[in-house]
A and B are shown apart, each in its own frame.
Chain A
Amino acid sequence: MRAPAERRLAAVLLAPALAVLASVTLYPLAQALVLSLERRVPVFGIDEFVGLRHYAFLLRDPAFANALRVTAVFTVASVALEVVLGVAAALALATMRRWRAVGVGLLLLPWCVPGVVTARIFEWLYEPTGWLGIPGRALPALIVADVWRTTPFLALFAYARLISIPPAIGEAAAVDGAGRLATLRAITLPLLAPVLLTAALFRTLDALRAFDLMYVLTGGGPAATTETLTLYAYRHLFQTLQLGLGAAAAVLVLVIVALVAWAHVHALDATEART
């Protein structure tokens, strides 16, 4: 244990950094919390305290429940597909003998395209199909666009881990008579797991806040089947200018994101304990 004086010094030295962190994260957060307890429509000079009424409204608003559902489907489907395709792409890259750099470059291309540009490309691709106007097709169409855009992120993470696995492990497995599938299941995937979980955490948090694709391609339609939580919050913050209600929705998004992140970190700890 360190001496008390040393600990005091540490606290003093850390204080400025903590104060900066608190002011840039906690202060806006506290503001959002306070705002969510008010009916505030600044355009019309409306500003009154309403307590938890916005939260009560959100919990019974079918549009909010719908946004929750859409966000959950979008997140689970797109992240799952990205992990599977990302690992597949990384394995393919790792086995390439030549042109590997070219392969990595091509793979990264979609990741380098700005979100709004991606959205425009897919708008053009989807136009003849009419999918973006059909409930039940629009959300899968957006998921495909998101998977196209972000699979490279997962693939790069997995690829970096793959090439750092010593070849000796694979050779030892081969000597023991393990086939390719058995090697993949018993060696490669477990070694990849921590990296994949971290990458998937990033992607999940991103997907939970998905906005740009929907905003550009569908505006949340048709029939709000692509209206995510962030789009819902946006609609109230920037279109109907109900700042209090929008803030309440944003606070709930934050709570959900925090819970998911917490669960992920626990899963990560568990896998690390195992390996």
Chain B
Amino acid sequence: MVARLVGLALVVLLVAGCGGGGAPPGVELVFRHSRMPGQDDPLPRLLRGFEREHPGVRVTHEPLPWTADVQHQFYVINLEGRAAGFDVLMVDVIWTAEFARAGWLLDLTDRWPAAERGEHFEATVATAMLDGRVWAVPWVMNVGLLYYRSDLLDASGFAPPRSYEELAHQARVVMERAADRRLGGFVWQGRQYEGLVVNVLEELWARGVELVATNGRVLVDLDGAAAALGFRRRLLTDGISPSLVTGADEEQTRREFGAGRAVFLRNWPYARRLFERPTSAVRGRVGVTALPGGGALGGAHLAINRATHHPELAWQLVRFLTSDRAQLAIAEAVGLHPTKPKLLEPALRSIFAAARPRPITPWYQTLSATMQPAFSAAITGVTPPRDALATARLQLEYFLADRWPQ
């Protein structure tokens, strides 16, 4: 902690020093990213490596605010001002289309050979593109997974479920057999936030329902979407999902499952490491499989600020940080997963390959912020699902006017 503070102070001093003087002796690149989880941040090592390969270049890296919401705000304010305050930036997969349409990112189509794009999972490359152009390079990848208690499923003779109906059935049977009345069935993220949109999208996909149709229209299949939400509502009313779900985020559900109080959990891959820690109550009893219909794609890309003064050097840094070596180092140190199948542990490859991107549209933030209260109202039973969705559709029609997302 003290070392970190001292480091931070040094960075501040360095930055302040650069601003004051005349022409700096070398070139400085600024890289903005969100803080790496865990204790062992691999970035300083990687960036020193880049500096050794590019004499005269110094890379300053500055962490973004903690929450995704505030990070997004930070980027909007700084990039809209067309400031060259940073050269390379980490963007969430759901922001890339928005930032590209806003004209904030450098077009990387001609720099990045098409052959190399094929090395990454297709779904993550899709979220780095808009209007047939490439705006970012995939850096780390996340996919929604289904965690299950292998000991409990084995005892009942169940194989991991292939559909949410099967999941609900298995959960009910296991709960009825369990000696512990407090054992919950299926925990997922039902709090009113982006995570709820992710969970509902996964339910929609399993039913073949799209939130945004290929022609850009939203909620064309209102009945299909209402049925999906009705199913999630019933999970709660039937007691298959405990009531904490409607207020829970990733961490709360992870702790619930990690304490042995649930049969199934929907979460990102980060939880695997935590479940296998020596002190974990569920160690050695957790299985992982693909979500029915595929898990949502998360993660981040690296992009270049269009206002940068050093586009070529910034591109070199992006290539360096997305190289096999760097992606492996990051996976090793903090457990964020690579975006290339060949670098990923074989057990996860098919699950990652089945990942699906959330709707790729510059309007994703508007779409999500409008759907969040509607989904929440539907799963908590405050509003019938169809009414909640119809209201959200009317609001979206007003927000987007005639400019439907393409």
Which residues on A are within 8 Å of B, measured CB to CB? 39, 42-44, 46, 57, 61-63, 127, 130-135, 138, 218-225, 227, 235, 238-242, 245
Contact = CB atoms under 8 A, between A and B. Distances in A.
A135 B192 contact: no
B1 interface: no
Interface string B211-231: 000000000000000000000
B403 interface: yes
Contacts of A63: 373, 391, 395
Given A43-B102, A62-B391, A133-B248, A224 B376 contact: yes
13 contacts: A39-B401, A43-B80, A44-B102, A44-B403, A63-B373, A133-B190, A133-B191, A133-B245, A134-B247, A222-B190, A223-B376, A224-B377, A240-B369
A240 B399 contact: yes
B339 interface: no
B199 interface: no
A61 B382 CA distance: 17
Nearest to B252: A127
A133 B98 contact: no
A220 B247 CA distance: 11
Interface in B181-226: 190-193
A39 B400 CA distance: 10
A44 B101 contact: yes
Given A44-B102, A133-B247, 19 more contacts: A43-B101, A63-B391, A131-B247, A133-B190, A133-B248, A133-B380, A135-B380, A219-B191, A219-B372, A220-B373, A221-B193, A222-B190, A222-B382, A223-B373, A223-B383, A225-B382, A227-B373, A238-B73, A240-B370
Nearest to B366: A240
Contacts of A220: 192, 373
B249 to A, nearest CB: 10
Contacts of B366: 239-242
Given A133-B243, A134-B243, A135-B382, A223 B102 contact: no
A249 to B, nearest CB: 13
Contact of A133 (B246, B365, B377, B383): B246
Contact of A239 (B244, B252, B365, B403): B365
Given A42-B80, A239-B69, A223 B244 contact: no
Output the residue of A43, A62, A127, A245 with the most chain B CB within 10 A: A43
A233 B233 CA distance: 29
A246 B399 CA distance: 11
A221 B379 CA distance: 12
- 7 tightest A-B contacts by CB? A133-B247, A221-B192, A223-B377, A133-B246, A224-B373, A223-B382, A240-B366
Contacts of B398: 57, 61
B13 interface: no
A57 B373 CA distance: 18
Interface in B349-406: 362, 365-366, 369-370, 372-373, 376-377, 380-383, 391, 395, 398-399, 401, 403
Contacts, number: 101
B18 interface: no
A65 to B, nearest CB: 11
Contacts of B401: 39
Contacts of A223: 192, 373, 376-377, 380, 382-383
Nearest to A127: B252
Contacts of A218: 191-192, 247
Interface in B59-74: 69, 72-73
B80 A222 contact: no
Contact of B192 (A57, A127, A222): A222
A224 B80 contact: no
A240 B365 contact: yes
Nearest to B98: A43
Interface centre among B102, B243, B247 (most CB of A within 10 A): B247
A62 B244 CA distance: 27
A145 B328 CA distance: 45
Contacts of B190: 133, 222
Contacts of B247: 130-134, 138, 218, 221-222
A134 B193 CA distance: 15
Nearest to B377: A223
A242 B244 CA distance: 33
A39 B372 CA distance: 23
A44 B99 CA distance: 9
B83 interface: no
A142 B73 CA distance: 25
B232 to A, nearest CB: 13
B69 A130 contact: no
Q: Which of B248, B376, B391 has the most CB of A within 10 A?
A: B376
A8 B248 CA distance: 65
Contact of B244 (A57, A130, A221): A130
Nearest to B378: A223
Contacts of B403: 44, 46
B76 interface: yes
Nearest to B79: A43
B191 A222 contact: yes
A44 B399 contact: no
B365 A241 contact: yes
A131 B380 CA distance: 12
Nearest to B190: A133
Nearest to B369: A239
Nearest to B69: A239
Interface string B65-93: 00001001100100010000000000000
